[in-house]
Amino acid sequence: MRKIYTIALCAILGITDIQAKTKSTDDARTATITLQESRAETTISRHIYGHFSEHLGHCIYDGLWVGKDSEIPNIDGVRKDVFDALKQIRIPNLRWPGGCFADEYHWMDGIGQKRAKMVNTNWGYATEDNSFGTHEFLNMCELLGTEPYVCGNVGSGTVEEMSKWVEYMNSPNESPMTELRKQNGREEPWKVTFFAVGNESYGCGGNFTAEDYATAYRRYQTFCRNYNGGYLKKIASGPSVPEDYHWTETIMSRIPADMMWGLSLHYYTIPGPWEHKGSATEFTRDDFFRTMAYALNIENAIVKQDSVMSIYDPEKRVAMVVDEWGTWFDVEPGTNPGFLYQQNTMRDALVAALTLNIFNNHADRVRMANLAQVVNVLQSVILTNGSQIVLTPTYHVFDMYKVHQDAHLIPTTVETATITDGEWTLPQVNASASVDANGRMHLTIANLSPDKECQVSCPISSDYKIISQSQLLTAKNIADHNTFESPNNVHLSTFDKATLKKGALTFKMPAKSVVMIEMK
Ligand code: AHR
């Protein structure tokens, strides 16, 4: 299913036209960040910081959900430790129930007292007992204060089934669907705002051609009604690979903006052939550089897809929704290959930091994104094992970067030294900046070198001062990670090396690090 990503991404690796301006390699390791503070106009939607939870491996069961009768402390069945950790990073939205699972999910199996079992054919042929369904998911989102992003079934579901699901979740009117909801214990509608009409419809979501999907989308979305004055933000399935422009062009030309709030794009960083993607924790210097190169190329994908969207939508009414992104490595040895359980190192943290900087910098088009996936699957922010949890290095990046949510983007130019290894030459530093409603300015920077510090300077307009302790995430080794035995190997610390004098912010960034500086 995913082999095609790797091949296609290899094809675009040669393209480096979107990267930051680079200085030659081994002279002074410096970077200059220029901020256009007077042009802070675009809002960085908080929904860029969204997450994804699929019925896959131990993401839902044992990850988010243990059930009310579990000995593991829980709030109405949701793990308390995971709940608290997600609250801390202020997750703005959560996508569910898939992924590929969404297009074989029949929501009525997951409501009421008696629930039909099914086989999860996409993910390890595990038996799904449907004990976590619509009520459990939407109640959990309500508790978390996060917006639910529900993915509907186009591939194996009917228009009627999808229409009734939206009615069941959102309608306040008297009808058989709302009666059923009330019988199942929920009086008021939940008010779901984000709704995807299928997932990866070119592949696991039904193997549609772009033309056939555009026709199906128009029909399915017609019957996903707006209830109670609410506005359902409908999201169309995107292309199979970032450089499939035919898909994007077909969708954009055949579906008007008033039928489509957003168009999805999936981008995984898979630094090896599909059969051997490489270990999450044991990797060479070459693997590391390849991973950074793949991750950085998301910017090419965004810019090029945006340019196709802009032919039909120059005002950028339709959002680009990167609703699956992150690293994809081989599963941890001894674990079920269908469960996609992988560890998470300082390398993953750098991927997260640079990707979120790129999303911020393209906030005019990218208005939603979802890391794949929230717990125990792919580039998770949390891993669980029985009653234990571990916060991954990626978690700490989301913790640092939450300051950008709903702030105004400050356009940023980075002139940076490069880092070189074999065939790879990459920018050493990547950054983004924003100013929030209280006038606080935040700068987030990633130093992608595994072994070289970087002297960073950034002219700042007169009145700003560093107002609180800046944060640093780094590690002794690039493969360092947190384990259940040693959960704090990679952790946030205070960064007291930055000075702001006479309008010049300067600091030396350690190798393989992420820094957040707060000023007012
Ligand atoms: O995140 C894992 C899978 O990757 C999702 O189910 C699918 O949409 C994508 O191919």
* 3-class secondary structure per residue, 354-375: HHHHHHHHCCCCEEEEEEECCE
Residue 176, number of CB atoms within 10 A of its CB: 10
Residue 470: both structure tokens together: 């800046």
Nearest Cα to Cα of residue 134 among 175, 165, 98, 180 = 165
Helix (H) or strand (E) holding 428: none
**In this predicted structure, what is the pLDDT of residue 14?**
38
Q: Return the residue matching tokens 């939206």.
A: 166
- 149 CA to centre of own chain: 13
Residue 200 Cβ contacting ligand 1 at under 6 Å? yes
**In this predicted structure, what is the pLDDT of residue 7?**
32
**176-184 long-range Cβ contacts below 8 angstroms, 24+ apart:** 180/111, 180/112, 183/112, 184/111, 184/112, 184/135
State which of 266, 267, 374, 377 you would mutate to test the pocket of ligand 1, scoring each by most atoms of that ligand within 8 A of its C-beta: 266
Residue 411, number of CB atoms within 10 A of its CB: 16
The dihedral formed by the CA atoms of 278, 281, 284 and 290, expressed in degrees to the nearest 10: 60
Under DSSP, is residue 139 helix (H, G, I), strand (E, B) or coil? helix
Q: Are 426 and 418 in contact (CB under 8 A)?
A: yes
Residue 372 Cβ contacting ligand 1 at under 6 Å? yes
Q: Give the Cα separation of 198 and 183 in Å (integer).
A: 28
Identify the residue whose C-alpha is closest to ligand 1 atom 4: 99
Instruction: Identify the segments of the chain with pLDDT beneath 70.
Output: 1-28
**In this predicted structure, what is the pLDDT of residue 228?**
84
**In this predicted structure, what is the pLDDT of residue 24?**
55
The rounded Å distance from CA 455 to ligand 1 centre is 39
Identity of residue 450:
P
Q: Give the Cα separation of 318 and 315 in Å (integer).
A: 8
**In this predicted structure, what is the pLDDT of residue 54?**
98
Please, what is the Cα angle at 29 between 24 and 33, to 5 degrees? 90
**In this predicted structure, what is the pLDDT of residue 21?**
67
Could you tell me the CA-to-CA distances from 185 to 67, 188, 189 in Å, in that order?
A: 17, 9, 11
**In this predicted structure, what is the pLDDT of residue 60?**
98
**In this predicted structure, what is the pLDDT of residue 23?**
63
465-500, pLDDT tens digit by residue?
998 879 999 999 999 999 999 999 999 999 999 999
Under DSSP, is residue 326 helix (H, G, I), strand (E, B) or coil? strand
424-454, pLDDT tens digit by residue?
999 999 999 999 999 999 999 999 999 999 9
Q: Return the residue matching tokens 């595994």.
A: 450
Under DSSP, is residue 262 helix (H, G, I), strand (E, B) or coil? strand
**In this predicted structure, what is the pLDDT of residue 32?**
97
Please, what is the Cα angle at 278 between 277 and 280, to 5 degrees? 115
Q: Are 426 and 20 in contact (CB under 8 A)?
A: no
- State the alpha helices, DSSP H only, in 298-339: 298-312
Residue 101 sits at φ, ψ, to 5 deg, of -60, -30
State which of 207, 270, 274, 324 you would mutate to test the pocket of ligand 1, scoring each by most atoms of that ligand within 8 A of its C-beta: 324
Could you tell me the CA-to-CA distances from 166 to 154, 196, 233, 284, 429 in Å, in that order?
A: 14, 11, 12, 48, 45
The rounded Å distance from CA 378 to ligand 1 centre is 10
Atom of ligand 1 nearest to the CA of 1: 10
**In this predicted structure, what is the pLDDT of residue 20?**
55
Identify the residue whose C-alpha is closest to ligand 1 atom 5: 99
Nearest Cα to Cα of residue 149 among 97, 201, 107 = 97
Residue 371 Cβ contacting ligand 1 at under 6 Å? no
Burial 471-507 (b: 16+ CB within 10 A, else e): bbbbbeebbbbbeeeeeebbebeebeebebeeeebeb
Under DSSP, is residue 189 helix (H, G, I), strand (E, B) or coil? coil
**In this predicted structure, what is the pLDDT of residue 25?**
54
Q: Give the Cα separation of 266 and 368 in Å (integer).
A: 12
Nearest Cα to Cα of residue 271 among 252, 255, 284, 260 = 284
